Each structure stands twice: as structure tokens, then as C-alpha cells.
Amino acid sequence: MAAYSLKTGRWANQNIAALITRQMPQQQTDSKKVETLTKQPDEGLQQGIAKWAEQERGKRINYVPPEFRGKYIEEVELKTPQKVIALTFDDGPWPKMTNDVLHILKKYNVKATFFVVGRNVYLYPEELKKIVDHGHALGNHSWNHSYYYHNSLAAAKEIDNTTARIYKTINVKTSLFRPPGGIMNNGLVAYARKKNYVIVKWSADS
């Protein structure tokens, strides 16, 4: 899913212009020219630009084309002769394990998708930020990773609270959902599809 990108060029240019351009006080001259900003952006402005750029990168990495939303995806046909696998990691983030995985992925220049559990995002927000900083995609793996049946209200809490916590932590919304244990009939998948999440399982486990 991380191979797709948003067409945000025009919007991006408009927002960068809004951030780095300031209208200065009008000069008291006959021509009434407006002084333009020629100094380097101050620290607060630079931080604002960096934060905006980080959010846009997260949106592009986690973008899902509309035709996949609300569906269970078993495989996707890619327009490439190369053999491709999609690496995914579930149940985190965890301080040591997540860091170890990120180190290995960086060493081999490999990108992956991390299906995170809401309660762990709450406990270890800095680990979630590291995942995004390394350019990986995110998916929702419920709040408690429970296998029992959920009515619509319980399912909403499991999924919506996780998505909200991810967004609160890194300002990124995910449209991917992986059911805990791969269970498809305990109420979570039904709710996720209703909310237009892409349901993603796996073909090999380790």
C-alpha cells in the first residue's frame, strides 16, 4: 500500500507559500511599496514547515486508493515483473522489539507496514513516532488485541479509539485494519468494513 502517493503538489505549494511568506508593513513612500521578507525564516517558522512536511509524508505513505476501501484484500496484482513481498509486523509498538526491527529494516533499506495495538500506542508513543520517522506505513490492529465477539459498540471502541490515538500521536490517519488472530467473524471486521477500512491478513507467519 505504501507504493501509492497522493497528488498534493498544488496544495503543498499553497501551504508552503503561506508559511514562508509574510506581508510586511506598508512603507510611507509615494510608491507605497510593500517590503518583502528577505531574512531567513525564524526557528518557529522552520519548525512549522518541518511539522507540515512530516504530516504530508505520513499521508502519502498511508494513502489507500478508493477501490480497496471497505474490502478484504488477499492479493494485489502489481505492474512489475519483479517478485515482491509485503513485510508486516503486528502487536507493537514495543520499545526493544520495535527498535530492533527498525534497525534491521534500515540496514537493508526495506520498508514495511506495522499493524499497531492501540494500548501500546498509548503506552509507547515515541516508538510509534520512530516507525513513521523511518518511512514505514501503519495499520490498525484494534485496541486490546482481543479475540472474543464484539457487538457494534465494542467494535467501534476497539477500532475508533486506536485510530484516534494514532492520529493524536503523529497526525496520521490509517485506512488499514488487520483483525487480531486473523479472526473474521467476531464483529471487528464487520465494523471495519462499514467504516471503509481495508482488511489485510497475511499469507505467511513467523
H/E element holding 61?
helix 43-61
Mean of pLDDT over the chain: 80
pLDDT at residue number 115: 98
Domain boundaries, the chain: 9-61, 66-200
Is the pLDDT at 107 greater than 90, yes or no? yes
pLDDT digits (tens, 9 = 90+) for 155-184: 999 999 999 999 999 999 999 999 999 999
**Per-residue pLDDT at 94 exceeds 90:** yes
Provide the Cα torsion 171, 172, 178, 181; round to 10°: -30
pLDDT tens for each residue of 35-85: 444 455 667 766 666 555 555 555 556 778 888 889 998 877 888 888 888
pLDDT above 60 for 21? no
CATH class of 66-200: alpha beta
| Cα 193 from chain centre | 18
What DSSP character marks residue 34? B
158/161 Cα distance (integer angstroms): 6
DSSP-based three-state secondary structure for 88? strand
